[in-house]
Structures are given as C-alpha cells and as structure tokens.
Amino acid sequence: MKRQVIVIHGGDTPETYEKYIADLKAEEFDLEDARRKRWRETLEALLGTDFLVYTPRMPNSANAKYLEWKIWFDKIVPQIKDNSVLVGHSLGGIFLAKYLSENKLKMRLEAVLLVAAPFANDPNEKDMADFILPKSLDLLSEQGGRITIYHSTDDPYVDFKDAESYKERLPNAILKKFEGRGHFTGSEFPELAGDIKALFK
C-alpha cells in the first residue's frame, strides 16, 4: 500500500486587512517565479513509487486565518489513512502543531515533520493572528508519531529560537539544525525525503 504524505504550505498573517492590501501593493511579482517548482512539488519524485504526496491548497494563504484553515483541514482529516506523514512548512507547521494539540485524531500518524515553523503561544502576539499555540502540546506529542523539527540558522522569517521552543515543549522530538537553507524555499529537500523513506524501513 502506498504511504500518504500530506504537505501543508505556508502563508502570511497580516494584522489588518489594510496591512494585507499594503503588502499586496508592495510585493514584487516575477512571472518566471510562477514556473519555479518548490520542494513540495518535487517531493513525490524523490520519495519514489511507494508514496503519494498531497499538497492541498489552504484558504487565502496571503491573509490566513486559523479558523478558515481548520474548517478546510477538517475535510481532509477523514481521508488520511493510518501511518501517514504530515508535513507543515512555515505557517503550515504552526497550523499542524496547533490543530494536533487541540483535536484528537482517529487514525494513527507515523510522523509529523515541522519545517521552518514559527512558534507563538502568546495570545497578544498579533503577528500570528489566530495561529496561537495552546499552553500544552501534549496531545501533539501523544498522537504525532515521530516528530522532527527542521530549521536553518539563517532563516530570514522565523528565528531559530522558535525551533528550540518546539524542542523544549516536545522533548521527544528530533531537532535538525541546518545552515544556509534560509526558509527552505528551494526546489528540492532531499534530507526530508530521506527521513520520510527511513520511517518505513
């Protein structure tokens, strides 16, 4: 049976709608960039024929709201099979951490892999909108299978301290420290593919 790998992408959480509009106006756009593949699009090729990689598009990622993402992910969860792998990149990482800390799943997960995930557990932290972690991540630890945190020391968006905060609250997780990988926006992520394949050996 082919293994499911579900990848939740990142997004932005502007404080206000006005900030969202200002960000849209300020952002530069290169049409060629729309052709460039990210690692989540090449992951299945690296994993091989034993895996199926799903990259669902979460709602309005440029002005993301946790409630909207939860409503959408609630539709995905019943289709996730036992021993699947969940991967969250950037905002997708804190989304999975929050969701799995607040919602008990019926299936068994093989692993949860958090890539360049921001850590925020202060309700007053406006930068993260409603993507705020609960005080306890015990349920995530209990049902997340093998949890691995991937973070680069030169990430321009998410401080490496965020990865350390996850590790502190998820003591059984593995923290993999990288250098020179930024926010993991490259076209391939062979280390991630290797780790996923190793889960099933």
Sequential pLDDT tens for the chain (201 residues)? 899 999 999 999 998 899 999 999 999 988 988 888 899 999 999 999 999 999 999 999 999 999 999 999 999 999 999 999 999 999 999 999 999 999 999 999 999 999 999 999 988 777 888 999 999 999 999 999 999 999 999 999 999 999 999 999 999 999 999 999 999 999 999 999 999 999 998
At 125 the pLDDT is: 78
Residue with tokens 């093989």: 110
Tokens representing residue 174 in the block? 């593995």
Q: How far apart are the first and last CA of the chain?
A: 14
Q: Where are the alpha helices (DSSP H) in 27-174?
A: 39-47, 66-76, 91-102, 138-143, 160-169
- With H, G, I as helix, E, B as strand and everything else as coil, classify residue 63: helix
CB atoms within 10 A of CB 200: 12
At 15 the pLDDT is: 87
Domains of the chain, start order: 3-16+32-199 (3.40.50.1820)
Cβ density class 118-147: b for 16+ within 10 Å, e for less: bbbbeeeeeebbebebeeebebbbebbbbb
At 122 the pLDDT is: 86
Comparing CA positions, the residue from 37, 44, 41 lying closest to residue 3 is 44
| Whole-number Å distance between alpha carbons of 188 and 190 | 6
Backbone angles phi, psi at 178, to 5 degrees: -120, 160
At 151 the pLDDT is: 99
- With H, G, I as helix, E, B as strand and everything else as coil, classify residue 105: coil
* Identity of the amino acid at 96: L
Comparing CA positions, the residue from 192, 185, 193, 189 lying closest to residue 36 is 185
At 150 the pLDDT is: 99
